[in-house]
Amino acid sequence: MPDNHQEALDYHSLGRPGKIEVVPTKPTSTQRDLALAYSPGVAVPCLEIEKNPESVYKYTAKGNLVAVISNGTAVLGLGNIGPEASKPVMEGKGLLFKIFADIDVFDIEINQTNVDDFVKTVKAISPTFGGINLEDIKAPECFEIERRLKEELKIPVMHDDQHGTAIISGAAVINALELAGKKIDEVRFVVNGAGASAISCTALFVSLGAKLENIVMLDSTGVIRHDRENLDINKVRFATRRDIHTLEEALVNADLFVGLSKGNILNGDHIRSMAADPIVFAMANPDPEITYEEAVAARPDIIMATGRSDYPNQVNNVIGFPFIFRGALDVRATQINEAMKLAAVHAIAQLAKAPVPEIVNLAYNQKNITFGREYIIPKPLDPRLIYTVAPAVAKAAISSGVAQKPITNWEAYENELKKRLGLDNKLIRVITSKAKQNPKRVVFADADTYKILKTAQVVREEGIAIPILLGNKVKIQRLIEEHSLRISDITVIDPREENQTLEEFGRIFLRRESVVVIPSTKPKNHAGAELLWC
């Protein structure tokens, strides 16, 4: 909850109430425009769609329209608050779809808790939409609702509370295990919680290679054991046969704790009992199972993630769902299948290892975000997510046979994704593309500053140019080590050590005439760069 409740109420109520609106995408300023938009002109596309129902994607907004649907039975940390009270959350979800992936949303709150009636209602309205995002529906009903809708509809359906958290935490697990030097098929998992998110997360870990015999799951009554009676079908799969009966016992020598339960149930002693390099994902909101401060104090070798934005490694579903639906919609996938989810997992994990753009450093007020224990998953405001995750999902949809509109030109698709969010500056893209075709040596003056070194790293890694660093060698090397920059092999020239070259250039300058020093006829500088003096 925000500290200032009135501020939150004012945000939602002042001006136009709520957070989203519908805006026209075609001209509406003249009578002719209106005649085309509605009667009589609208009859023409109606008849075309009647002849060919698939052309609805050509003549309407269906292909870019997702329904965010809830019955309000499991809203955030608020519980069963009902459909009306869930509407601010669903509007917020629609806002995130739009600002992160340019997907339009109608939020739909259904006053129905019966599974059959809920499914019937969603099926009845499904012709309007290109995809269905189920949200905040309690377990175990949510499992059956999603299963049936996926079977009975030919558009992407995903319950984000299950798969969104699973996909992001799956990427985090891959990278955390790499940093800890552990193999997923040998890792001992403890999963505290057995709701929709916990079940889906654990199932995804198994898909990534975790062994069922190495998993201990707990619900509100304790360890889920094979000899417990009345286990529902979703819990039976993860029932352990090990002689473990409490959370404390489960944590001893465990490698990885996944918390999707309630706050403040762990303490420092629990963390200290875990194996070397423990991985702790305390994802209960708003209060994690253990505070970041207490966990780090207990184990300096810990790799920790939470659901909070004020600590490193936030497991935030916005890293996944907008771009998963973007990729699914763009190839007109009939479903979001396991292959597409795993593609998203691996794309997110790989992105965390790539150099972070300066715009992300600035957004999070950090100097140099780099892959490591405090950065195992990308930041939600990373602009690369849309053109990294969406294409990976789209490719998986095509290769798994569920795409009805395959993409063939992936470079054009990536540019289209950048354009959707205003990421394309045509002049810069043209210049950059041309530079990559024949990279030139470029001298970076004042290279003994962090910003110049960071720029040189990006320029080199993106293949735009071959940097040459000009500056104090000792200071440059110190900055490279301090910020873990990957440019130790770039040529460095320290002007103070180049007396002969300085004297030669000084004589040229003092001639007071325009000269061109051509490498084929005049002495080169140490890097062989062409030098132009005017």
CB contact at 8 A, 170 and 205: yes
**Start-to-end Cα distance in the chain:** 62
**Radius of gyration in angstroms for the set of CA atoms belonging to the chain, rounded to a whole number:** 28
Distance CA 96, CA 321 (A): 9
DSSP secondary structure string for all residues of 18-35: SS-----SS--SSHHHHH
Indicate the pairing of strand 189-192 with strand 215-219.
parallel
The 3-state secondary structure of 509-534 reads HHCCCCEEECCCCCCCCCCCCCEEEC
What is the CA 469 to chain-centroid distance, rounded? Answer: 34
CB contact at 8 A, 388 and 312: no
CB contact at 8 A, 135 and 124: no
Q: Kindly state the tokens that stand for 146.
A: 């999603």
Catalytic residue among 11, 19, 38, 183: 38
Catalytic residue among 62, 93, 150, 454: 93
**395 is an active site residue:** no
**311 is an active site residue:** no
Indicate the pairing of strand 515-517 with strand 531-533.
antiparallel
Q: Compute φ and ψ for 185, nearest 5 degrees.
A: -75, -5
Cis before 40 (ω within 30): yes
CB contact at 8 A, 212 and 183: no
Active-site residue numbers? 38, 93
